[in-house]
Structure 1
Amino acid sequence: MKTNEMRVESRSLFSVDERVKTFKNWPFNDKNRCNVRNMAEAGFYSVATGDDDADAAKCFLCGKELDGWEPEDDPWSEHKSHASKCAFVQLGKNEDELLLSELLSVVKQYMINELNQLNETIKSELDNKAKSVRRTCLKL
């Protein structure tokens, strides 16, 4: 997946309903506290790639990835205990309860995270290019 495609995909994950759609083979059902809806409302979307990581989930905002979920785990509590600085966790509200100012603060943090990630990617690519040029120069 290209960087631009990944950004477009993650933008759609602002919505609980879009996050719910990612949980195709979630191992827990609606009777469990750790169900799809509760996961999505706590900011998580599924990043499972197979049976080995069927319960892998990631926060759409802070990027914290967690697995090893138990049926009675509370997604909000787990998110808070592993990523207490996440702006979404700090609000502690479902998407439909957010005030406009709170939603904008989440969007702002998302944009900051996005720019930081892009900056790291560009820095890494630039470092790799510099190493390549350096090796070429040393061979001369």
Structure 2
Amino acid sequence: MSKISDVILRGVTGAFITNSGVGKIGMPAEHSAGLQQAAASGIPLMAKLPSDKFGTFIGYSEVGIGAALLAPFVPNKIAGAALTAFTGGLLSMYFRNPENTQADGIRPTQEGMPLAKDFFMLAIGLALMTQNEK
């Protein structure tokens, strides 16, 4: 990370994702099961993981992605790829639930607004992946 724009893109996004992950580690089993149900709506394979440990699994995953973004020795392409893959999973929940989008299937409803913000993280991940590093 050499440019101030890299520090801003990676720092803010990395801190946000890390904080989100820390909040999920050790969450109560009933909250973990609810999170798993939401995740499985976008990625059905998630339903096969143990529901009582799902929140902790996602929490550690988010902390890992956040740490990759925050670590200056991780190349932008790697950090961006991790963020893009993670955000792709989040957006799959957005698009696979009709209550999240208006009739056009793209614009968010009030229910979909919390997931629609993830388009910003997708853009950041793609920007990091496509930068020419010197």
Structures share fold, TM-score greater than 0.5: no
TM-score of the superposed pair, with normalisation by structure 1: 0.29
The structure with the largest alpha-carbon Rg is 1
Query: Higher relative contact order at CA 8 Å, sep ≥6: structure 1 or structure 2?
Result: 2
- The structure where strand makes up a greater share of residues is 1
Give the TM-score taking structure 2 as reference length: 0.30
